[in-house]
Structure 1
Amino acid sequence: MRIVMLTNAYPYHPGEQFIEDEIEYWARNPAAHVTVLPAVAKGEPRAVPGTVSVDLCMANGSVTARFLSAMGALFSAMFWRELVYLWRSRKIGMYTIARALLHASKVIAQAKSLRRYIARQGEVDVAYCYWNETQSYAALLARKKGGIRKVISRIHGIDLHETRRPHSYMPLKRQFIQDYDRVFTTSRAAQAYLEETYGAAAESIRVSPLGVPLADTLSKPSGAGSLHVVSVSFCLPVKRLDRIVESLRLFALRHKEVEILWTHIGGGPLFGEVRDFAASRFSGVDNISFELLGEMANDTVKKYYLGKSVDLFINMSESEGVPVSIMEAMSAGVPAIAPDVGGISNLVSSQCGALLGQCPSSEDVADAIDLIAFGERRDVLRTNARKMVEENFSSDRNYSTFVASVLAIGAS
């Protein structure tokens, strides 16, 4: 069965590290012949399994092609339908009109690229879109011309929640959400949001959590009088890394007898700002230090927990799906503190960490750190963190099931 997997950049950098685990299950299935079609291809790509191919037909379009697509979008029914939606929803403005035009032009350009690929390589059984964004809309548009039998899409967090976008605007989604053969969400909360916000049909949606490989050994806690806290994310406003800094500062002031190390893994546009903020807020607090390690390969992140003593993982995002970064920490027996947003409650609870309110205060977080790191149930929480991933977020179970589901759709 011929599968095209539409990604933002994978196997190129940055991001989409979690595809590295899933792609192995596609490669192992003899019924699947997978070609990855990234939208962006810059620098050196990551290695892909030998049975998986990569085609750059959708990447790095010319300035002329982008201009022609923009002109086509300006006179397209898709763009004008979007203007009607913006007017009726009272979201119309220069910014939203520009975003609607930009996304419509991307859909048109990517659909043309897909049709050229089909003309060259032959019919596609399933177009599997890793994100519910312009590439997935392009696949639906291209299917109308023939050559693509089925279109499915995953949907995560940034491509689901309107509130994570400027002006709470997700271009074009309402026009296309009814047309997929299947949409796979990462949680039931995401499914409910998709139905309530965009009018997606319940019968077209399935819940399919992501997964991580189970760590061979477990991370060990720090010795008495020490605390090592890890966070992993891009440095973006939505990640609320300043909240982590303030919470750790408060905890350090409460517990001057404890030596605290905060390690953050991940780069991004606010990397320097976060570094400077942490240096400022931790200045004069003698028992706390920090390190910002920047971007790190996915395998290196997994190994980090096994080579270091890590006491807990913190996530303070204001919007999430079901974060793979938390799964990876918990797989190594590291309990997590996180807010109850998106699908996090499917992963984090009082049985394996601390699930806080949607906008926890520094005091809330400091109290949770105390409970997890130094409470009587510390060892139980570490055991339960690993057990939660084993039972619900194992890549072996979740990705094998997902691949089988997609192949069944393609065969129908």
Structure 2
Amino acid sequence: MAVRRLVLLANQYPFLSGDHVFVAAEIPALAAHFDEVVVFNYAPGEPAEMAALPANVSFGGSLYGMPRAEKIKALFSAHNLLRLAGVTLLEARRGRLTGHFRTFVAGTIAGMGLANDSRLRAALYEHGVDTTVYSFWGMGIGMLVPWIRGQVASVNLRLHRYDLYEEESGYLPFRPALFGRTDRILAISQQSRDYLLEKYPREQLAAKIVVRRLGSAAPLDVVPPADAAPRGSDARPGQTIVSCSYVIPVKRVDRIVEALKKLPLDTPLTWIHFGGGALETELRSKVALLDRPGLSVEIRGATRHEDILSCYSTHNIAAFINVSASEGVPVSIMEAISYGIPVVATDVGGTAEIVGTELGTGELIPADFTDDDLATKLAHVLSAGPDAYAPKELWARRYNADVNAEATAGLIAGRH
């Protein structure tokens, strides 16, 4: 019987950064369904730390920074020239090259170069090995997917946000060819599946797209402090709210500051933000100007993932806030609801599939919300009784990483 090998394409994993949290959740299940798993990433430099890998999982290397000579060699190989002609013709017939030719060419050179890496080719095309490909992204390392040759058993592609929504990310090169080379597309939400079908009707993707949600790990089993009061109780001296994201423009963390200026403060309130980024200094300056008795703010900056989860498990957090202008389905929200924390979030991407009154997880606000919108919904959650929301129930049904990973691994392995 041939060896069953999975070639897994990630952007950072197994480096302990970037997509590590997402990919790591699926690794044990993938390792159990294949004889061996070889991981390639697209990360520059040497990692400070790497994830521990199961015994049958190995790191094939980073494909980032391929020498220019190798890219040129890939460009002029007979196979790639023939494939390039087909990809270019398809893109032109779809009317996608106008105004985007330079981006298309750059993406083509990058994708063909990545696919021509000798280490990757050895993993993909070894004689006598039954190879399956799983690209965790449709951009970054996913740019090589259209150039994978036909010897592999199947090609599986997962799409999220930046590699999906062209209205937000701008032109994404060779989408029709990417989808054409893919046997199965894993959408992280029903909304993203609907988007693909509407955006690319000529590609006839309905039979290829399967909704396979991401998830978060089971909450830490940590006993909360003895004096912690139930959520919604008036017995405690104050309440705590949390947000967790990069501090970059799309996340709009500074809008939380403006809403807190308008939030009624019947009891003391502490806002903790986890995450750093380009706008962190600006956010700290804005917070320093706040002058509201009863309101405390802690900008924690970049924080270890395990420390964030420890905070959730040992503190009585009344609400989690996400005001991003764009999302897929935020894993940060999955983690919050796994700890029973209700959420106030913007109705963007697939967020409505995890946050909502009818889901029992919290409250949605419009993508173009006002400060009053956020303040009003947050006040509603903070004043709600302990039985008003049941966030953990939805997490258990829809966003348990172990359950979702097993379903994904079985599907990719052709056993579900």
TM-score category of the 2 structures, normalised to the smaller one: 0.7 to 0.9
1:129 corresponds to 2:138? no
| 1:68 CA displacement | 5.9
Q: Comparing 308-317 with 224-233, which one deviates more in the overlay?
A: 224-233
Cα distance in 2, alignment partners of residues 224 and 401 from structure 1? 42
State whether residues 177 and 198 of structure 1, in contact with CA within 8 Å, keep that contact through their aligned partners in structure 2: no
Match of 2:260 in 1: 248
Amino acid at match of 1:202: A
Match of 2:241 in 1: 229
User: In the TM superposition, what are the counterparts of 1:141-152 in structure 2 within 5 Å?
Assistant: 141-144=147-150, 146=151, 148-152=152-156
Q: What do the CA deviations read for 1:55-85 (whole angstroms, capped 9, x no partner)?
A: 1162442354456668999995378548747
Cα distance in 2, alignment partners of residues 276 and 70 from structure 1? 49
User: In the TM superposition, what are the counterparts of 1:2-401 in structure 2 within 5 Å?
Assistant: 2-16=5-19, 17-27=21-31, 29=32, 31-41=34-44, 42-44=46-48, 45-56=50-61, 58-66=63-71, 76-77=84-85, 80-81=88-89, 84=92, 88=95, 92=99, 96-113=100-117, 114-118=120-124, 123=129, 125-144=131-150, 146=151, 148-165=152-169, 168-199=170-201, 200=203, 201-215=205-219, 216=221, 221=231, 224-251=236-263, 254-255=264-265, 257-280=266-289, 282=290, 284-350=291-357, 351-375=360-384, 377=385, 379-382=386-389, 384-401=390-407
Higher helix share: 1
Cα distance in 1, alignment partners of residues 106 and 42 from structure 2? 15
Q: What do the CA deviations read for 1:287-317 (whole angstroms, capped 9, x no partner)?
A: 3232222333333322220122311100111
Q: Comparing 42-51 with 183-192, which one deviates more in the overlay?
A: 42-51
State whether residues 115 and 142 of structure 1, in contact with CA within 8 Å, keep that contact through their aligned partners in structure 2: no
Query: 5+ unaligned residues in a row in structure 2: which ranges?
Result: none
State whether residues 71 and 112 of structure 2, in contact with CA within 8 Å, keep that contact through their aligned partners in structure 1: no
Cα distance in 2, alignment partners of residues 303 and 346 from structure 1? 26
Across the aligned residues of Structure 1 and Structure 2, the Cα RMSD in angstroms comes to 2.9
Cα distance in 2, alignment partners of residues 264 and 381 from structure 1? 24
Q: Secondary structure at the match of 2:247?
A: coil
- Classify 1:49/1:235 alpha carbon distance in 2 versus 1 (closer, same or farther; 3 Å): farther
Q: Secondary structure at the match of 1:127?
A: strand
Q: Comparing 302-311 with 97-106, which one deviates more in the overlay?
A: 97-106
State whether residues 240 and 318 of structure 1, in contact with CA within 8 Å, keep that contact through their aligned partners in structure 2: yes
- Classify 1:302/1:356 alpha carbon distance in 2 versus 1 (closer, same or farther; 3 Å): same
State whether residues 248 and 279 of structure 2, in contact with CA within 8 Å, keep that contact through their aligned partners in structure 1: yes
Cα distance in 1, alignment partners of residues 133 and 327 from structure 2? 25
Q: Secondary structure at the match of 2:403?
A: helix
Cα distance in 2, alignment partners of residues 127 and 290 from structure 1? 46
Query: 5+ unaligned residues in a row in structure 1: which ranges?
Result: none
Amino acid at match of 1:364: D
- Classify 1:57/1:243 alpha carbon distance in 2 versus 1 (closer, same or farther; 3 Å): closer
Amino acid at match of 1:50: A
TM-score normalised to the size of structure 1?
0.86
Q: Secondary structure at the match of 1:177?
A: helix
The alignment-based identity, stated in percent, is 26
Q: Secondary structure at the match of 1:334?
A: coil
Q: What do the CA deviations read for 1:231-285 (whole angstroms, capped 9, x no partner)?
A: 111222111212222112221xx32x432222221223322233233334x2x22
Q: Secondary structure at the match of 2:13?
A: coil
Cα distance in 2, alignment partners of residues 84 and 185 from structure 1? 26
- Classify 1:101/1:31 alpha carbon distance in 2 versus 1 (closer, same or farther; 3 Å): closer
Corresponding residue pairs, total: 393
| 1:408 CA displacement | 1.0
- Classify 1:123/1:391 alpha carbon distance in 2 versus 1 (closer, same or farther; 3 Å): same
Cα distance in 1, alignment partners of residues 223 and 259 from structure 2? 26
- Classify 1:90/1:32 alpha carbon distance in 2 versus 1 (closer, same or farther; 3 Å): closer
| 1:403 CA displacement | 0.9
TM-score normalised to the size of structure 2?
0.85
Cα distance in 2, alignment partners of residues 46 and 306 from structure 1? 23
- Classify 1:308/1:174 alpha carbon distance in 2 versus 1 (closer, same or farther; 3 Å): same
Cα distance in 1, alignment partners of residues 33 and 409 from structure 2? 11
State whether residues 335 and 352 of structure 1, in contact with CA within 8 Å, keep that contact through their aligned partners in structure 2: yes
Cα distance in 2, alignment partners of residues 298 and 152 from structure 1? 28
Q: Comparing 257-266 with 343-352, which one deviates more in the overlay?
A: 257-266
Q: Comparing 32-41 with 312-321, which one deviates more in the overlay?
A: 32-41
Amino acid at match of 1:139: V
